Amino acid sequence: MKTTVAQLNQHIGETIELEGWLIKKRSSGKIAFLQVRDGSGEVQAVASRAELDDASWAAVESLTQESTLRLGGAVRADDRAPSGVEIHLATCELLDQSPEFPISPKEHGVSFLAENRHLWLRSRRQRAALRVRSEVCQAIRDFFYERDFVLIDSPILTPAACEGTSTLFETDYFGNPAYLSQSGQLYLEPAAAAFGKVYCFGPTFRAEKSKTRRHLMEFWMVEPEVAFLEFGGLCELAEEFVVSLIGRVLDRCGAELDVLERDRTVLEASVAPFPRLTYSQAIEQLQAAGVEIEWGADFGAEEETLLASQHGKPVLVTHFPAAIKAFYMEPDPDDPKQVLGVDVLAPEGYGEIIGGSQRIHDHDLLLRRIREHELPLEAFEWYLDIRKYGTFPHSGFGMGIERFVAWVTGLPHLRETIPYPRMLNKIYP
Ligand code: 4AD
Ligand code: MG
């Protein structure tokens, strides 16, 4: 019966058939140990010269790393094997013999691996990281589905900037400029007036001119937006969301975290409530720690690392100076120099994983902000309409999932958390 590695433990004692790739082979001439991967998992097959017909043994002998094969044999329980089973080989068929595979078990440089991303995906650590990503994406969809949010797919081609004009990717749209979306937020706000609770989850684009381990040019962002949700509720939603995703990864991705040798201590400690501090308090803490920073300055990677590392769990920083945040953020009623914005900073040096705010819902104030930020009014008329026809307080946030996945997996660089990273000046493969 044809099956997969993941299903093998349901076939102990039976004879099965599998298709996959050879990871590695050890052979003594009379007996060969094949490590086989089929996408669902890895298993060892033991081949004995005495028990195979000539064609099968010839196939075993000609297997090279990444050759494709079809094997048949009996499934035996084996406590020492990570999969819990081993295959006693009865037949082996070489489907395609791979020439020398560029990625061997020896160490390779990062740029070599990046250029071979299409092949690097097969490596154990890469598979573990991308499985965690897949689980996180599913957990995100489940989180919002269970809370009755409606999925609203925001457009990729847009006529206006959401997060500042310095990181726009411009393209030609029938003779007019269009930009790849930096965020779906502006399109979610009108949808919140139609459905109450909405979210979008898709690729976003930023022409970040700097090369850091925390920035991609193309990344996936999940963004909820909720009508009549004010700032306090927004902070609670962000906290609940992060706690829920961590729980899901701890629950379902144990094997992957083992492969990645992820120390779970901080993840397990990341339960609610998360510490909260205002931007002003954060500045005081930083100054007390000897950092040269004045009120009004934006945080860099160093400041974020310092702020979050003191607590051993994510931290919510709120009430930022209006001048360093986006045009749409609602002013703090107690101090209009500040806005009702929140950043969630992950510990262990991963920095900002979430950015969000309450939105300006007063028409005239929003109009003034658009002008102050010198944004082209024509492109925002429709956005102002939301404040014209039955305006309502509302709030939302965005989480870059690569930042979250990098943190939960403990991977130092975002490039391993997305199948095909887009980085500064690099778009191959
Ligand atoms: O803080 P940002 O810029 O917020 C927004 O775009 C809002 N419009 C979201 C909203 O309120 N609906 O970006 C949100 C998150 C960041 O916290 C970070 O996790 C991620 O997006 N992010 C990036 N991730 C990878 N590479 C980049 N270049 C990123 N820029 C932002
Ligand atoms: Mg931000």
**Ligand approaching nearest to the C-alpha of 207:** 1
Answer whether 198 contacts ligand 1 (Cβ < 6 A): no
pLDDT average, residue stretch 195-210:
96
For residue 386, the SS3 value is coil
Kindly report the protein residue whose alpha carbon is nearest to atom 18 of ligand 1.
Answer: 400
Q: How far apart are CA 145 and CA 138, in angstroms?
A: 10
pLDDT score for 371:
96
pLDDT score for 51:
96
Tens-place pLDDT, residues 327-374: 999 999 999 999 999 999 999 999 999 999 999 999 999 999 999 999
| CA–centroid distance, residue 222 to ligand 2 (Å) | 13
Contact present, 331 and 318 (Cβ < 8 Å):
no
Answer whether 403 contacts ligand 1 (Cβ < 6 A): yes
Answer whether 223 contacts ligand 1 (Cβ < 6 A): yes
pLDDT average, residue stretch 184-193:
98
Answer whether 402 contacts ligand 1 (Cβ < 6 A): yes
pLDDT score for 333:
97
Answer whether 208 contacts ligand 1 (Cβ < 6 A): yes
Q: How far apart are CA 177 and CA 246, in angstroms?
A: 40
Contact present, 219 and 203 (Cβ < 8 Å):
yes
pLDDT score for 176:
94
| CA–centroid distance, residue 274 to ligand 2 (Å) | 18
pLDDT average, residue stretch 407-421:
98
| pLDDT category of residue 216 using cuts at 50, 70 and 90 | very high
Rounded to whole angstroms, what are the CA distances from 330 to 186, 219, 319, 366, 378? 14, 26, 10, 9, 22
| CA–centroid distance, residue 397 to ligand 1 (Å) | 9
| CA–centroid distance, residue 15 to ligand 2 (Å) | 55
Closest ligand 1 atom to 354 CA: 17
Contact present, 424 and 217 (Cβ < 8 Å):
yes
For residue 354, the SS3 value is strand
Closest ligand 1 atom to 404 CA: 19
| CA–centroid distance, residue 399 to ligand 2 (Å) | 9
Answer whether 218 contacts ligand 1 (Cβ < 6 A): no
Answer whether 189 contacts ligand 1 (Cβ < 6 A): no
pLDDT score for 105:
86
E-state strands within 310-366: 315-321, 331-332, 335-346, 351-358
- Give percent of the chain with pLDDT exceeding 70: 100
| CA–centroid distance, residue 162 to ligand 1 (Å) | 11
SS3 content of the chain, % helix, strand, coil (to 5): 35, 30, 35
Closest by Cα among 329, 354, 351 to 339: 329
Closest ligand 1 atom to 216 CA: 26
Answer whether 352 contacts ligand 1 (Cβ < 6 A): yes
Mean pLDDT, the chain, rounded, equals 97
Give the type of residue at 51: E
C-alpha 85 chain-centroid distance: 32
Answer whether 219 contacts ligand 1 (Cβ < 6 A): yes
Q: What are phi and psi of 248, to 5 degrees?
A: -65, -40
Closest ligand 1 atom to 186 CA: 8
Answer whether 183 contacts ligand 1 (Cβ < 6 A): yes
Kindly report the protein residue whose alpha carbon is nearest to atom 29 of ligand 1.
Answer: 215
Contact present, 44 and 79 (Cβ < 8 Å):
no
**What would the two tokens of residue 31 be?**
């007996």
Query: Ligand 1 pocket test: which of 181, 221, 350, 408 has the largest number of ligand atoms within 8 Å of its C-beta?
Result: 221
Answer whether 216 contacts ligand 1 (Cβ < 6 A): yes
Tens-place pLDDT, residues 238-290: 999 999 999 999 999 999 999 999 999 999 999 999 999 999 999 999 999 99
pLDDT score for 395:
99
Would you call 106 exposed, middle or buried from its count of C-beta atoms within 10 A (0-12, 13-18, 19+)?
Answer: exposed
Rounded to whole angstroms, what are the CA distances from 138 to 42, 244, 248? 23, 12, 10
What are the residues whose beta carbons fall under 8 Å from the beta carbon of 333, sequence distance 6 or more? none
Answer whether 206 contacts ligand 1 (Cβ < 6 A): yes
pTM for the predicted model, two decimal places: 0.97
pLDDT score for 263:
97
What are the residues whose beta carbons fall under 8 Å from the beta carbon of 319, sequence distance 6 or more? 278, 279, 280, 332, 335, 338, 339, 340, 341
Answer whether 304 contacts ligand 1 (Cβ < 6 A): no
Query: Ligand 1 pocket test: which of 352, 404, 407, 417 has the largest number of ligand atoms within 8 Å of its C-beta?
Result: 352
Tens-place pLDDT, residues 381-395: 999 999 999 999 999
| pLDDT category of residue 19 using cuts at 50, 70 and 90 | very high
**Cis peptide before 273, with omega less than 30 degrees from 0?**
yes
**Ligand approaching nearest to the C-alpha of 204:** 1
**Ligand approaching nearest to the C-alpha of 423:** 1
For 267-299, give one letter per residue: b (16+ CB within 10 A) or e: beebeeebeebbbeebbeebeeeeeebeeeeeb
pLDDT score for 165:
85
pLDDT score for 355:
98
pLDDT score for 59:
98
Closest by Cα among 388, 386, 382, 389 to 359: 386
C-alpha 192 chain-centroid distance: 25
Angle of the 301-309 helix axis to the 279-288 helix axis, nearest 10: 90
Q: First-to-last CA distance in the chain?
A: 37
Tens-place pLDDT, residues 25-84: 999 989 999 999 999 999 999 999 999 999 999 999 999 999 999 999 999 999 998 889
